[in-house]
Amino acid sequence: MLPKDPMILFSYINMKLRDQYPSLDELCRAEDIDHKWLVEQLGAVGFEYSAEHNKFW
């Protein structure tokens, strides 16, 4: 279950990207997360994904 708080979600997703997954696509596939939903949730609070850095910021 993903955190509902956007700041905790941001931290959680970046930790997963840093420690376990080489890309957002792989994280979403492995964790069964809707890619579009995740990008929208974090985008709504000002974060965007950087494929080059493999993190939201």
- Provide the phi-psi class of 21: left if phi over 0, else alpha when psi is between -120 and 50, else beta: beta
Query: What pLDDT digit, counting tens, does each position of 2-45 carry?
Result: 999 999 999 999 999 999 999 999 999 999 999 999 999 999 99
- pLDDT at position 53 is 98
CA 7/CA 43 separation, integer angstroms: 11
pLDDT computed for residue 33 by the predictor: 98
pLDDT band at residue 56 under the 50/70/90 scheme: very high
> Can you give the residue ranges of every domain in the chain?
6-56
